[in-house]
Amino acid sequence: MKELYPTDFKLLDFEKCKEWLPFYESNKQAVLNMSEKIVKLDENDNFYGWYKKNKLLFIISTHFLDDSMLVDNIIMMSEDGSVTDYELGILTIAKRKFVKKIIFKLPQQHESLDLKLQSKNFVYESGVGYVCYLSYRTGLVLGGGGAKGSYQIGVWNALKACDIQFELISGTSVGALNGGLILQDNLELAEKMWQGITTQQILLVPEEENSRQMSYSINQLIVNFQKLTKTAIQAKGVSTEPLNQLIQDLMSPQDIFNSEKDFFIVTTSTPNMEEKIVSLKEMTEKTFSRWLLASSSFFPAMAACLIDDVYYVDGGYRNNVPKDVLINQGATELIVVDVKGPGITKATKVPSEIVEVEISSQWGLGNVLLFDGNRSSWNMRLGYLEAMKTLGKYQGIEYTYIKDDFKKKSLKMSRKFLIFLRESEFFELWFHKKTKIREWEWLQNNKIQPEFLSITLMESLAKKLEIDPAKLYSLEELSYLILKNLNKREKGYNRDNNDEMMYSVREWLSKLVKQNSPVSDVQRVYYYYNFFKNNNVKKDREAYYLLMDVSWMSGLEGLFLIFLESELA
């Protein structure tokens, strides 16, 4: 499945296409209507291409309104698609947005269609069209990842905001702990716990002497890891008694066992290291907390958990993202929240009839075994925003924006920038030396959607300037922030307010590489920007061509900064 935009349409051959349902009087009219509608870029209109083995089978025109997906056009692009392919595609598109009904907005009832559509649970409603009411048996899959798991609570917040229900939960390690919190249906309690969490609340390690003056430096991070490692070696696994106490304090057995949701946790039995799946129905109020602890015991860093004379360790050793558990329980949809924690992710083949919505982040989520309330709060904000984006409530790629005519505004900005480039004599000369194709085709060949060229460049610049992705922006706000950060930028590492939280070693190493690199990404863009802005192009055309050949992306970013300045002046 791929969402299509106007420039995608230009590459398609509609000569042999046909209507799948008679929304219009002719194939020609159906194509004309879809072509006219797609260029409007209405925020609630979406056009999807459904592919099978990389072959486009059909294009569907949809409009999402309240709890419905309205379909007003379906164009067959190949004769190879079966009725099952169409049914699967349409249901998948609808269920990924968790709508309650699909409406085929046919202008009138067709007796010839009644039998065909009724067999697929569509009924004709006068003045509305053919309507199919959808049923769901949704499972929430929560992967393991220690302190990264705070992200999952942000996702849960978004699911509640969108009123998306789920009947099944499976969890490994921190996913099991969060699953227990979700069973209680107390979001405020879960958020409060994560906002105030410390490593000492999870593991029995020495507390900092000056814990009130928390340092987030790389040196302090190394000290923390040294203490954790030393304690783990001396004790043959750090005691999880603090975590056990936290579970006892947080979990309400009455609320959990009164929940109508089915809950499954994954742990690993020793010494054979076999996966063990335990359902809530198999637990008692007394053993519930022990099984949560068993799923989360990341041995050898953490002590194993003893239950009925068997030692159990972290479920991630065998199944870190337990999708298969809920598939076997009859889930028809999966919401998978994978925080990319350490462990084995099973190669689970999800049947085509099960709709899978994966919510994960391209951003780092911090450490696994070191816990920090500030980092958890940031992760929760990010989880909420990225889930809302996945569910279609917000827009964006790696950053998140309010809708507010997002598609139209990004297209307008992209068009203006392309005009700006065409009016730049030397860019045109360089471009036509490289290729004879049009700009939008060149962008598509380089995996850039032309309609969102401006967004691609803005987000690339925002990342280089270390602008916080855990905030909701308008296009105007992010544009101003990019220029503001550029103007404030100095040589070396510019600390942002994100330094008020704990980073992982990997994140710190990335920062240090940028900081100590002779020419960092942001320095390179800044050099291109100054070169173009100071009219050095006219003085040294060959240097310009060389710079663009070395990194045309940095060149576009430098030119885009000049364009932004002119737009926001």
Upper half-sphere CA count for residue 433 (Cβ side, 13 Å):
12
Distances (CA, A) of 295 to 145, 201, 252, 445: 12, 17, 19, 46
3-class DSSP assignment, residue 299: coil
For residue 498, the SS3 value is helix
Q: In this structure, how many other beta carbons lie within 10 angstroms of the beta carbon of residue 490?
A: 6
DSSP for 233-286? HHHTSB--HHHHHHHHHH--HHHHHT-SSEEEEEEEETTTTEEEEEEGGG--TT
Secondary structure string (H, E, C) spanning 136-200: CCEEEEECCCHHHHHHHHHHHHHHHHCCCCCCEEEEECHHHHHHHHHHHCCHHHHHHHHHCCEHH
Q: Say which residues have a Cβ less than 8 Å from residue 47's Cβ, sequence separation at least 6.
A: 3, 4, 5, 34, 37, 38, 59, 60, 61, 62
Q: Are the C-beta atoms of residues 476 and 399 closer than 8 Å to each other? A: no
Two tokens, residue 82: 């079966």
Distances (CA, A) of 560 to 94, 422, 532: 37, 13, 11
Cα-flanking dihedrals φ and ψ of residue 461, to 5°? -70, -40
Active site residue 314: yes
Full DSSP string of 303-364: --EEETTEEEEEGGGT-SS-HHHHHTTT-SEEEEE----SS--------TTSEEEEE--SS-
In whole angstroms, give the CA distance from residue 106 to residue 119. 17
Strands 274-279 and 400-401: unpaired
Q: Find the catalytic residue in 68, 150, 173, 295.
A: 173
Residue 448 per-residue DSSP state: -
454 has catalytic annotation: no
Q: Rounded to 5 degrees, what are φ and ψ at 396? A: 125, 170
- Give CA 234 to chain center in angstroms: 40
Q: Which position has the token pair 């999966």?
A: 334
Q: Kindly write down the DSSP assignment for every residue of 194-223, as one continuous string.
A: HHT-BGGGTS--PPPTTTTS---SHHHHHH
Pick the catalytic residue from 8, 72, 262, 314.
Answer: 314
Half-sphere exposure of 384 (CA within 13 A, CB side): 17
Alpha-carbon distance values, 494 to 226, 362, 419, 499, 511 (Å): 28, 22, 33, 10, 10
- Active-site residue numbers? 173, 314
